[in-house]
Amino acid sequence: MTPAPSNTELMIATIARLLEGVRHVAVGASSPIPAAGAMLLRAKNEIAGRERVRISILGSEAHNFFTNGGVELFDCAAQGRIDAFFLGGGEIDGEANINLVGLGPYPQSEVRWPGCFGSAFMYYLVPRVILFREEHSRRVLVDRVGFVSAPGTSDGLVRPGGPHSLLTGRALFSFDRQRKRFVLDSVHPGHSAADIRANTGFAYDGAEEAPETPAPSAAELEILRGRVTGELEESYPQFVERLRSERA
């Protein structure tokens, strides 16, 4: 009997849907779930005879078109040649601002995170930025971030890039750039709209009874558990072990 999809596989399939229509996806070095979603879309397109999706995973040898890391990534984004990218944060607020610096007054922050790197640059330039955090709690999804590493919106500026959606381990939100607010689109199996409201620290729009996030199809699961898992192993061997253990 085929194991039911895990929550991780649900998120991977959701990312593949969010990326539909893109030509070039860039993924950071520590982003196995976004990378798997991009690979799933690429495989589906190839099987269906649609346009091939180009994937650039920083740190990968098999799935990376760049030879000089971030320098080429930023140059490619500035030329408008990256259609989608992923960002996360120690904190994400209701206006899609992200905090990658830390907690407490800067620079004497009590908790320090990796830092901004090129997050603001990519956020301004890439048209489809998907915010991603597995943890869905008031600790992460806050009313206002303590430090704005990269702003979700920029009044008065020409800005081709910005937030498209927010995916967590519990739910999927879209982002309304005009109103500067998230909208709850769906809730993952095992959770409810009330559960999401209770565990989200910012205000957002959406019906009191949100639909359930669609599960991956049998065809998607077959691709994910076969080809995609094999492709992931080169860059994320520990994550592949987790995927396989979740299916047991």
Residue 237 three-state SS: helix
Contact present, 195 and 170 (Cβ < 8 Å): yes
| Amino acid in the structure at residue 182 | F
Tell me which residue has tokens 């982003």.
31
What's residue 1's pLDDT? 63
Q: What CA–CA distance (Å, rounded) separates 148 from 145?
A: 6
Per-residue pLDDT of the chain (248 residues; tens, 9 = 90+): 678 899 999 999 999 999 999 999 999 878 999 999 999 999 999 999 998 899 999 878 888 877 776 788 899 999 999 999 999 999 999 999 999 998 888 777 888 888 888 899 999 999 999 999 999 999 999 999 999 999 999 988 889 999 999 999 999 999 999 999 999 999 999 999 999 999 999 999 998 889 999 999 999 999 999 999 999 999 999 999 999 999 86
Q: DSSP secondary-structure letter at 36?
A: H
Cα R_g (the chain), whole angstroms: 18
What is the CATH code of the structural domain delimited by 7-247? 3.40.1080.10
Domain ranges of the chain: 7-247
Structure tokens at 182: 């998230």
What's residue 117's pLDDT? 83
Which neighbouring-strand residues pair with 175? 182
Alpha carbon of residue 3 to chain centroid: 25
